[in-house]
Amino acid sequence: MTRIILFLITNLSVMILFGSILSVLGCCSSTTLGLMRTAGIFGFGGALVSLFLSKSVALSTVNGVIISKASNDVEYWLLRIIHDQAKKLKIVSPQLAVYDAMDMNAFATGARRNAALIAVSTGLLKNMSKESIEAVVAHEMNHIASGDMITMTLIQGVINTVVIFVSRSIAKLIAYWMSFMRDQDNTELEIYSNNNYSDINNSLVYFVVSAFLEVFFGMFASIIVFWFSRHREFYADAGAAKLVGCKNMIFALQELQHSHEPITSNNIVTLYINSVKKNIFSDLFASHPSIDKRIEALRHGIYLDKSSYFL
């Protein structure tokens, strides 16, 4: 609840600030309020909808099967591991799902930490040792216990809202300025005769500029989201190391380095424990730090002495 209140206050403060700027510059207050409502609805609405649908979307994307009752020794062992770790982390045991994939991977999702889901690939179950599988599960369990899914959604919602509001505010100012400049060059008769044309032109300018700015600002804003995502991976690794031992977590990460590249769509690949794709922008736009950096952080105990939870 605390993090929700803090993010809502941040979101409201940013909109009030930019709304005040628009009012000072002479924009209609009613238009500004309407813009604030639109930005809030679309900014937070999309993020919240994606959060509440995250489990069903993830399962359908990977064709995962929920294991409610163990049908073999491996499933029984997995369910027991999840139950034991959940008890240590003081959360409700998440659901377990298994999906068919060659890559060694797993992910956690869900709208609440006490109603979450952990999914593991068949490639992980076939190719990793039991100690490493347990470490991977512990990593995902720490994501759930830390409430990382809801925090990421709140951050995304705030950023979406700010991007929409700022982009459309700037677009509106530009449209007003261009309209004012045209008015200075026309006579009153020309203004009257070209009123419909002027309105259409203003709307077109507003649409084009706001669309461009939303893409432009959104690209830079995503850097913040990805930075936070990478930051939380280090904490999840450290939390897992506390549950299963640092050596086991490091060995699990080393095994993941030999995994096949995930082939699932991008909306799911960002959830994976191993999802880094090497490119020139990987340091800025990667949802996960490189495995080498994660291993180095564990070896040096950078995050081990810090709590894996915050807020």
- Answer yes or no: are the C-beta atoms of 304 and 238 closer than 8 Å: yes
Q: Which two structure tokens, joined as six digits, stand for 96?
A: 């377990």
- Answer yes or no: are the C-beta atoms of 249 and 184 closer than 8 Å: no
- Answer yes or no: are the C-beta atoms of 308 and 148 closer than 8 Å: no
- Answer yes or no: are the C-beta atoms of 154 and 290 closer than 8 Å: no
Locate the DSSP E strands across the chain: 65-66, 95-99, 106-109, 117-121
Catalytic residue among 75, 131, 134, 140: 140
The DSSP secondary structure of 170-219, one letter per residue, reads: HHHHHHHHHHHHHHHHS-HHHHHHTHHHHHHHHHHHHHHHHHHHHHHHHH
* 296 catalytically annotated: no
Residues catalogued as catalytic:
140
